[in-house]
Amino acid sequence: MSDEELDNLEKTVIRSMRSIYEIFGEVAFVIHYKKGIWKSGQSLNKSFFEAFSINFAVLGSQQLQMLVTRKQLLKMKFQELMTGNDYHGLDLNRFSKIRQLILEVLS
């Protein structure tokens, strides 16, 4: 990669991580949702780290800002996903499920 491509990649990753932190705060990537309560786990939730990081990285700045603005809706939809019937299949389909969730919040 060229220096310019590396610089752009670094900016994309930082922008994505900041947005995720603004939405989920201290529990980002160690989140567990059980019985209506957000909890911070002891270790990194790699599945959600990958799914949110990659899906956020392809979004533009305006879309990320909209997600931050609508963070309560995003978190509510994520809670529904975590407690719904699709939860057990989430690991296999996490990228598409998180992408679908993001698109719903953006529309």
Q: Give 37-87 pLDDT, tens digit per residue.
A: 656 665 667 778 888 999 999 999 999 999 999 999 999 898 888 776 555
**CB of 74 within 8 A of CB of 105?**
yes
d(CA 44, CA 106) in angstroms, rounded, equals 27
Classify the C-alpha dihedral 52-101-73-10 as positive or negative.
positive
User: What are the residue ranges spanned by the domains of the chain?
Assistant: 3-106
**CB of 79 within 8 A of CB of 33?**
yes
**Which residue carries 């994520």 as its tokens?**
78
What's the predicted TM-score (pTM) here? 0.79
